[in-house]
């Protein structure tokens, strides 16, 4: 596999150095692997900290900034960050209003954020935690007990981030984050496997004429493999899998997310089919976001995330945001 890297051992550090050069509004600690809003801590504002393995960019570091995360902790590729990173991030963003940890449901992330919460509280930082577990494809996987955390992480970080930006208290920001997660479901499809820098070759075998329905963002297996399907057929399967579990009564936010190697031409075409299914099922759409946001290195494929929203959640979604990976209204 050809990769635009120096050596596998420095790929995360090299990326962080490049991020620091491109985004002077961020304080990027390459050695300690922490990305922080340069204006943190903001007086009276709840801090939002998330993180996870690298390879899912722009998640999470690309979502640090006004209206979203206060800090992010990148681990090695597909590997959880360590508690020291999270404690350092919490201390950097704590203004005395408390810190919310947003954690995707992967075993390493959960264990390390739990440990970090105890350590941070020992240092006098008030911590709340929200677990994101939106993937409907499988109940348990190689990396999780329960459902995996995937595309809904973006919705949680954006809406909770907007509430924190308004100065809402920790209890309210936490409650909103939980509400978003409880009202979100996702389903992903892989057209090709991803390749990690350390391995230098595909992480699993997916024959050219097949796809994986319900794939995880680390390449974990999904529900089944089938012969290649059309965009229309994939949208039917994916959206119906989400709606069988979510059954929304309110309008929904739609995220049509690329896995890293799928061109926007294909993603927008896939979005047209997703919207068709939602219309056929009588589900009103409030807002739609299309692009590569929660990726899996160079995997070809896409995921669909729906989040049913009320007026308050929609207002917070529309609120201004200015990060490397998501920005509007500023």
Per-residue confidence of the chain (330 residues) as pLDDT tens digits?
899 999 999 999 999 999 999 999 999 999 999 999 999 999 999 999 999 999 999 999 999 999 999 999 999 999 999 999 999 999 999 999 999 999 999 999 999 999 999 999 999 999 999 999 999 998 777 677 789 999 999 999 999 999 999 999 999 999 999 999 999 999 999 999 999 999 998 888 899 899 999 999 998 888 999 999 999 999 999 999 999 999 999 999 999 999 999 999 999 999 999 999 999 999 999 999 999 999 999 999 999 999 999 999 999 999 999 999 999 997
> CA 40, 45, 46: angle at the middle one, nearest 5?
95
Give every CB contact of residue 288 below 8 A, 6+ residues apart in sequence. 253, 254, 255, 256, 271, 275
What pLDDT is recorded for position 305? 98
Closest CA to 153 of 296, 294, 58, 308: 294
Active site annotation includes 60: no
Catalytic residue of the set 23, 45, 104, 218: 218
- Say whether 56 is catalytic: yes
Taking every pair of Cα atoms in the chain, the longest distance, rounded to a whole number of angstroms, is 55
| DSSP state at residue 202 | B
Secondary structure of 129-189 in the HEC alphabet?
EEEECCECCCCCCCCCCCCCCCCHHHHHHHHHHHHHHCCCCHHHHHHHHHHHHHCEEEEEE
pLDDT of residue 203: 85
For residue 63, the model assigns a pLDDT of: 98
CA distance 97 to 47: 8
* Exposure string over 108-128, b if 16+ CB within 10 A, otherwise e: bbbebbeebbeebeeeebbbb
CA distance 299 to 211: 12
Structure tokens at 51: 């993180």
Give 25's DSSP letter. Answer: T
Could you say which of 56, 60, 104, 148 is catalytic? 56
Q: What is the pLDDT of residue 219?
A: 86
Strands 224-227 and 210-213: antiparallel
From the list 84, 85, 88, 102, the residue with the least C-alpha distance to 46 is: 102
* DSSP reduced 3-state for 234: helix
Check residue 145 and give its pLDDT.
79
Chain centroid to CA 187: how far? 13
């Amino acid at each position: 596999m050809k990769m635009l890297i120096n050596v596998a051992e420095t790929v995360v550090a090299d990326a962080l150095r490049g991020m620091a050069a491109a985004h002077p509004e961020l304080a990027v600690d390459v050695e300690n692997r922490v990305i922080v809003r340069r204006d943190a801590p903001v007086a009276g504002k709840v801090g939002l900290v998330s993180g996870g393995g690298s390879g899912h960019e722009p998640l999470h570091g690309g979502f640090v900034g006004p209206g979203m995360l206060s800090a992010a902790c990148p681990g090695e590729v597909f590997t959880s960050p360590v508690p020291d990173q999270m404690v350092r991030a919490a201390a950097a963003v704590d203004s005395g209003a408390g810190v919310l940890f947003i954690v995707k449901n992967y075993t390493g992330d959960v264990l390390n954020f739990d440990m970090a919460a105890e350590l941070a509280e020992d240092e006098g930082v008030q911590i709340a935690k929200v677990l994101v577990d939106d993937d409907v494809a499988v109940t348990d996987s190689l990396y999780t007990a329960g459902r995996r955390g995937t595309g809904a992480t973006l919705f949680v970080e954006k809406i909770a981030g907007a509430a924190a930006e308004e100065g809402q208290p920790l209890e309210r920001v936490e409650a909103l984050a939980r509400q978003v997660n409880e009202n979100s479901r996702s389903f992903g499809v892989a057209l090709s496997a991803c390749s990690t820098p350390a391995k230098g070759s595909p992480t699993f075998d997916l024959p050219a004429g097949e796809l994986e329905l319900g794939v995880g963002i680390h390449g974990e297996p999904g529900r089944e493999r089938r012969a290649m399907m059309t965009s229309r057929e994939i949208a039917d399967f994916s959206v119906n899998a989400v709606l069988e579990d979510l059954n929304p009564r309110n309008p929904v936010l739609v995220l049509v997310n690329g896995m890293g190697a799928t061109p926007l031409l294909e993603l927008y075409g896939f979005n047209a089919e997703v919207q068709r299914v939602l219309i056929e099922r009588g589900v009103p759409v409030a807002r739609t976001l299309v692009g590569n946001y929660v990726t899996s290195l160079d995997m070809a494929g896409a995921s669909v995330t729906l989040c049913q929203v009320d007026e308050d959640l929609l207002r917070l979604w529309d609120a201004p945001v200015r990060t490397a990976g998501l920005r509007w209204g500023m």
